[in-house]
Structure 1
Amino acid sequence: MGDFLAQHLPNAGRVILSQISSGSKIPLAGVLLLGLPYDASSGAIYAVVIFFMGLITSWEDAATNNPIFAEIVPVKSRTSIYALDRSFETMLASFAPPIVGLLAEKTYGYKLGDGIRNDDPKINQENAASLAKALYTAVAIPMALCCFIYSFLYCTYPRDRERAKMDSLIASEIQNIEMESSELVTIYSQLRQFDPEYLDGEFESDVTVGERSLVRK
């Protein structure tokens, strides 16, 4: 899907898809955590919501991040950028469990121990609701921020992509010139064995011109 949108909207297709993916997590997580009843008979509905959530909300890396990195990052730096992206995302994700715990206990009234019966259905249901609200907060705010940050790519991505194409073209031209100059020098050194006096006057000037053009590049 990312490739399809990139063909029709080269400057915005992948960004739009990533915003759809990250933005859809907010309502789907709301339905899953806050909208559905806490009832064992609702298992089929939970399964449907989880299926669509897993299907739609996993497009950022495969359809946007990795392809854009492949387009704008030089080959020699690509491995480092991929590793940095993974490590940065994992580092941020590691803060989620303690944040959810603090939100559930301090903000949404999750009740812990100290004489509270763990088998009390009412308290368990209240704790489940508190935990669901904390989880939703930990999902909705980062996803809204993520969707907003992707908006900057509308300005930076086209410019970075064109610059990467230009750098690749320049590197290719330099490589071609170096190969041509190397071949010219090799031919000159081979032919000089047969007629050195003629080549000193004619062929050497061609080599000099090729080397000068390489220096100017």
Structure 2
Amino acid sequence: MAQSHNRASRYSTPSFRFKRHLGPRRLEAMRSRKVFGVSLSLILINLAAIMERADENLLPSVYKEVSEAFNAGPSDLGYLTFTRNFVQGMASPLAGVLVIIYDRPTVLAMGTFCWALSTAAVGVSQHFSQVAFWRAVNGFGLAIVIPALQSFIADSYKDGARGTGFGLVNLVGSLGGIGGGVLATLMAGQQYWGMPGWRCAFLMMATLSALIGFLVFMFVVDPRKTTSITNNTGESYDREELIDKGNASAASIWLESWTAMKSVMKVQTFQVIVLQGIVGSLPWTAMVFLTMWFELIGFDHNSTAALLSLFAVGCATGSLIGGLVADRMSRLYPHSGRTMCAQFSAFMGIPFSFFLLKVIPQSISSYYTFSTTLLLMGLTISWNATAANGPMFAEVVPTKHRTMIYAFDRAFEGSVSSFAAPLVGILSEKIFGYDSKSVDPVKGSTREALALSQGLLSMMVVPFGLCCLFYTPLYKVFRRDRENVRLASLKEEEMI
């Protein structure tokens, strides 16, 4: 009876009622279609990753224009990033609850529509407080999308290839970030239909995001529905039905969510990765000021866009290289290979940050030195998520708890790292003497560029070093946690 009830409840969901109007056979044929040997579901999921990263890079790319439009200094702009990241972090566990109620394509679509609405609203905001409010809404949408997307990728690849899977989605996502950042930077100084270019960029990005969300909702298939298990009587079940069978004895969805939360929080590998992530995310959050820093040095919009595109290309390629190398290392050293790759990547952030912000002369004549440094920096410091964090999370919890572990990772890392952006602004203004009134709208300001670079350096070098150090306990705890999950999975399948 429980199984029949769960099936009935699934078929009565809004997503099912809406999708059946297309006709089951036609919809199923489109869902199972492959393009160049890749499933349509994975293609659309990667498109969602592209739009997610493009949306993240949109506002930092036009910080200078927003600063002028709303008379806001670096600390005010930092609070915008803080607001979005803090809300995103605190709301991330909601994604783990939603995937118990709905399938992941529906959850992804809900989050995408939410961030599309908020992006459009930022583009038409007339007051700084309105921008801050809609950035908070944007963080809520991303909180739903990112954990569900990560667990979707984890379920789509096997253990030995999961680093490559995360690397590919980071690669295409980074390309989206490049596109969003470059587009916004190039449009920022123009006028379109009597409207500032940065506002048009937000409206255009919102429209594309809503379209991708609709396609994900309609045509993406959750990989858990395609994985079947046969019991000892010869009867076959799909994996989602097995999860429903396990949930049938729970008093409610909230009880199941609480059980998943407690299970995730007890995993020591999760605790270690979250600890390093809290400090390891600080430099990446602080880097939202790089666009503003280059423009203060005196680079124009095109040169700034080119420099940050090189960095983004390096990060995109590096994330894939990190995933590939870690997959190979995990086969040679199953219990320590991924940790070694992560520590190497975190350590490389120290010399590159120092060289970029302190050694290179802060002048437009240093363009090619900046270019080379940013490219090499991106190639080496972007491994952690694809080489270690994402793949290791998938191996230390049961399949049904994967979205929850990614959600809680984002909750802790996102909420704490969100303080980095306002701290950069505060350090630059209060300690290093940044004065927004001294900035020339065209030529920038050498003095203010130096002050901002010192604030950036403070939030990059030390966190990178601590991140490298905090990975060390994984050499001991990862092996034990992974073996515990494998034994639990074997017992569960035997019981079934």
TM-score (norm 2): 0.33
Structure 2 segments unaligned to the other structure (5+ residues) = 1-324
> Does residue 1:141 correspond to 2:465, yes or no?
no
Tell me, in whole angstroms, the C-alpha distance in 1 between the residues paired with 2:372 and 2:408.
Answer: 34
Structure-to-structure mapping, 1:117-128, within 5 angstroms: 117-119=438-440, 124-128=445-449
1:88 is the counterpart of 2:412: yes
C-alpha displacement of 1:108:
2.4
- Equivalent residue runs for 1:77-116 within 5 Å: 77-111=401-435, 113=437
User: Could you say which residue in structure 1 is the equivalent of 2:328?
Assistant: 4
State the distance in 1 between where 2:485 and 2:456 align: 40
Q: Relative to structure 2, which stretch is displaced further, 14-23 or 92-101?
A: 92-101
The aligned counterpart of 2:383 is 59
Residue 152 of structure 1 is matched in structure 2 by: 473
User: Shift of the alpha carbon at 1:12?
Assistant: 1.1
**What is the distance in 2 between the residues matched to 1:54 and 1:151?**
23
The letter of the residue matching 1:3 is D
The percentage of aligned residue pairs carrying the same residue is 38
Structure 2 counterpart of 1:39: 363
Q: Which residue does the alignment assign to 2:19?
A: none
Task: Please tell me whether residue 74 in structure 1 is matched to residue 398 in structure 2.
Answer: yes
Displacement after TM superposition at 1:129 (Å): 1.5
SS at match of 1:143: helix
Residue 126 (structure 1) shift: 2.7
Rounded to whole Å, the distance in 2 between the matches of 1:134 and 1:144 is 17
Partner of 1:46, secondary structure, is: helix
Residue correspondence of structure 1 range 202-217 to structure 2 within 5 A: none
Report the counterpart of residue 173 of structure 1 in structure 2. Answer: 494
The aligned counterpart of 1:187 is none
**TM-aligned CA deviation for residue 112 of structure 1:** 5.2
Does the CA-based 8 Å contact 2:439-2:448 persist in structure 1?
A: no
Measure, in 2, the Cα distance between the counterparts of 1:151 and 1:6: 16
Residue 124 of structure 1: how far off its partner (Å): 3.1
Cα-to-partner distance string for 1:4-29 (whole Å, 9 max, x where unaligned): 11111111111111111111111111
Three-state SS of the structure 1 residue aligned to 2:455 is helix
**CA-to-aligned-CA distance 1:85-122 (integer Å, 9 cap, x gap):** 22333223321121001212233233454xxx545xxx
Moved more, 163-172 or 61-70: 163-172
Distance 2:340 2:398 in 1: 24
- Equivalent-residue separation in structure 1 for 2:339 and 2:459 (angstroms): 23
Highest CA radius of gyration, 1 or 2? 1
Residue 161 of structure 1 and its aligned partner are, at CA, apart by 1.2
Deviation for aligned residue 1:172: 2.3
Superposition CA RMSD, Å: 1.8
Q: Distance in 2 between matches of 1:108 and 1:151?
A: 34
For the pair 1:28 / 2:352, whether they are aligned, the reply is: yes
Other structure's SS at 1:110 match: coil
Alignment partners' CA distance in 1, 2:345 and 2:331: 19
Q: Distance in 2 between matches of 1:87 and 1:55?
A: 27
1:119-168 CA distances to partner (integer Å, 9 max, x unpaired)? 5xxx9323222211110111122222221211111121111111112112
Say how many residue pairs are matched.
169
* Partner Cα distance (2:410, 2:372) in 1: 29
Distance, in Å, in 1 between the alignment partners of 2:429 and 2:365 is 28
Instruction: Give the Cα–Cα distance (whole angstroms) in 2 for the partners of residues 13 and 154 of structure 1.
Output: 9
Report deviation, 1:66.
Answer: 0.9
